[in-house]
Amino acid sequence: MKQLVYLFTLPLIALMIQCTPSNNNKQVVKGSPIPDMSVENVTNELVKKHGEQAKFRIERGVKQVASLWRESDGSIANFETFCNEQFVAEPAAIETLFTKVSYSMEILNGYFLRINKDLLRPLHLDMGPITPIDEMFGGFNAGAHLSEDLYTNRIAFIVALNFPFYSLKEKTELGPNWTRLEWGYARLGDMFTSRIPAELQQNYSSISTNADTYISGYYIHMGTIRNENNEQLFPNDMKLITHWNLRDELKSQYSNIEGGIERQKMIYQIMQRIIDQSIPEKVINSPEFQWKPISNQLISNGESVEFTSEPNTRYQQIVNLYSALKDIDAFSPTMPTYIQRKFEGDFEIPVEDVEKLFTDFVSSEQVKATGKLIAQRLGRPLQPFDIWYDGFKSRSSIPAEKLNAAVSKRFTNAASYQNEIPKMLTSLGWTNEKAQFFGEKINVEGSRGAGHAWGGAMRSDVALLRTNIPSSGMNYKGFNIAMHEFGHTVEQTITLHDVDYYMLNGVPNTAFTEALAFIFQARDLEVLGIQDTNPDKLHLNALDNLWSCYEIMGVSLVDINLWKWLYANPEANAEQVKEAAIRIAKEIWNKYYADVFGTNDEPILAVYSHMIDNPLYLSAYPIGHLIDFQIENQIAGKNFATEVQRMYTQGRTIPQLWMKGAVGQPLSNTPTLEAATKAIEVLSTK
């Protein structure tokens, strides 16, 4: 499940939207009134005053300020005076400035985030019906004007002048030799690199909240589902959110010998109806009618009734998000598309590198061999929904009744989960003192939707672990998902409280928090005190990781290619976006999945909800799986808590440097594929 992210304050925006000064002959960047001659004069004066040792910082800082300066900020003379008076040369003074800016930004980040978290409570928690005013407050961005305010009072210019911005290429080349303090300076230098109008920030925040609300309310009441013989297949009280709960219910049916595959085919049909928007609008989050997904009949009192399909609402969210993000493009001259900003700015891995990583993996011989092994284990040809095959988890041999009983006795509601946090962490190797600290800094709440984790941005705040808990209490499936969110909140707490500099708090990108979430999720049995004695556990885990990567890499490739299509077709409407999403999903399937599954033109890779409410986030998952596997290899035989603390206190450096510090090697497909090769050799004979 996603780690919730919003564009709420300037630092986060700066991570997403970075630019470097232009070098045209007349002005540094369009909109700036500062001519090159003025930049050159100020630079020469400062170098003469402070010496050659400060030349790099002076040159870059003056250009950066000039690129951000507008007529409303003052005259050319004002610009020159500002640079001469505000440049800091002495190392001790630079460190003092860094410390004071960090302190103040923690206050601003922290409280603006806290406001947003509280305003969104009626949307994220079950606090009664959602009303229009809830959505309006939820879409309000309290920090939308912070960026411009900091330029107006010139704080932003002081930071830009004194803390140079480094490109990803420069961070890659120079970063290994930087001290921790120098890394902090570099991250502060990332902060003020563009000026995005507050109205654009507010617009994106509102549209993003609307998309998130749409997804978090998209439930299917499974007790109303009927097959073509009018038979009920699922319990009356089963209510599943798309796509996460539908997927997890499909996974659970692998252990159901009697009727499992029929239920899986039914869920797959429901997913297809959601993708192509032929789903009756009246079955979305409503138990009013019975529904036959195969023939797409809506039934009331035993009679078929006419209905209206969902009117492309799903794809309108993408149109709205694209439009809002496209408006920001003009304010990012060196990263003029959201695709670039997301991958080079946010993930700090170029999209071309990510695509190559994914396509090499999904084309591998290990994937094909694993597909054959799954078909052998199932005793039938693969079906498209077997991209969610769940039989490699060693816990699949443990009866569901035993797992549900262990969970239901211990975790009856959010409060009971909250109380168990210290005990769960000590079982994983943390000291009592540290486990108690986590218990104080993580708050558990029942979620209206599928759940999420949301960290704090100041050390006096808490991380939120929100998970969906039915009135009947938590079952094993829900606990497994909650463990994923728990992993997020542990990472969020470590990287806020235990990282040495505030400007380095967090992780290189969201894939790294997903990795720890996967690692926690894999330890759910250990936390429950249930021993997994399967002798093939390591081999099963290797193939489970490989198959999970295979699934989500295809989905991510659909997401990336859809956004490329959006930029090539900027005027597209919701119907055209739907057609493009389905076509791209089928193309990716035919290229990388058809040979493994034996079927063509399957649209299933377009079902993921993150494509709708969190654009281009999906790539974090497969990268996270690769990181997860490399970390698991590193911590094998060591104290789990000690290793996690060591790795995650590195904070927010760049991905490859973080990986080398954590596991001694860069991010790579190789460890996962090599382990899969060994696993296939062993398990194919059993």
- Show me where the domains of the chain are located: 10-210, 217-276+278-311, 315-393+533-683, 399-528
Determine the pLDDT at residue 332: 82
Q: Where are the beta strands (DSSP E) in 293-367?
A: 297-300, 303-305
Distance between CA atoms of residues 363 and 360, nearest Å: 5
In terms of phi and psi (left: phi > 0; alpha: psi -120 to 50; beta: otherwise), the region of 644 is alpha
What type of residue sits at position 391?
G
Whether 139 and 206 have beta carbons less than 8 Å apart is answered as: yes
Determine the pLDDT at residue 316: 98
How many Cα atoms sit within 13 Å of 596 on the Cβ side? 26
Distance between CA atoms of residues 57 and 37, nearest Å: 18
Determine the pLDDT at residue 23: 37
Residue labelled with tokens 């219910």: 249
What type of residue sits at position 665?
Q
Distance between CA atoms of residues 315 and 309, nearest Å: 14
Determine the pLDDT at residue 36: 94
Report the chain's C-alpha Rg in angstroms.
26
Determine the pLDDT at residue 170: 95
- Count, in order, helices (H) and strands (E) of the chain: 32, 8
Distance between CA atoms of residues 38 and 82, nearest Å: 12
- The verdict on whether omega for the bond into residue 625 sits within 30 degrees of 0, i.e. cis, is no
Distance of CA 46 to the CA centre of its chain: 43
Strand 239-241 and strand 219-221: pairing? antiparallel
What type of residue sits at position 426?
T
Query: Which of 143, 142, 141, 138 lies closest to 122, judged by CA?
Result: 138
Whether 560 and 581 have beta carbons less than 8 Å apart is answered as: no
Q: DSSP characters for 52-66?
A: GGGHHHHHHHHHHHH
What type of residue sits at position 70?
R
Whether 586 and 604 have beta carbons less than 8 Å apart is answered as: no
Q: DSSP characters for 218-242?
A: -EEEGGGBB-TT--B-S-TT-EEET
Determine the pLDDT at residue 477: 84
Burial state string for 99-124 with b = 16 or more CB within 10 A and e = fewer than 16: eebbeebbebbbbbbbebbebbbbbb
Distance between CA atoms of residues 341 and 325, nearest Å: 10
Burial state string for 308-320 with b = 16 or more CB within 10 A and e = fewer than 16: eebebebbbbbbb
Whether 638 and 420 have beta carbons less than 8 Å apart is answered as: no
How far is residue 468 from each of residues 235, 256, 286, 300, 335, measured CA to CA in Å?
18, 24, 18, 30, 38
Whether 192 and 156 have beta carbons less than 8 Å apart is answered as: yes
Other residues' Cβ atoms within 10 Å of the Cβ of residue 126: 15
How many Cα atoms sit within 13 Å of 198 on the Cβ side? 13
Other residues' Cβ atoms within 10 Å of the Cβ of residue 353: 13
DSSP collapsed to 3 states, 295-325: CCEEEECCEEECCCECCCHHHHHHHHHHHHH
Query: Which of 532, 578, 487, 221 lies closest to 392, judged by CA?
Result: 532
Whether 333 and 19 have beta carbons less than 8 Å apart is answered as: yes
Q: How confident is the model over 254-276, as pLDDT tens digits?
A: 988 889 999 999 999 999 999 99
Q: How confident is the model over 165-223, as pLDDT tens digits?
A: 999 999 999 999 999 999 999 999 999 988 888 889 889 989 999 999 999 899 999 99
576 backbone dihedrals φ, ψ, rounded to 5° = -70, -35
How far is residue 88 from each of residues 50, 100, 193, 309, measured CA to CA in Å?
9, 14, 19, 63
Residue labelled with tokens 């999904």: 362
Instruction: Report residues of the chain scoring pLDDT below 70.
Output: 1-30, 394-397
Distance between CA atoms of residues 19 and 644, nearest Å: 33
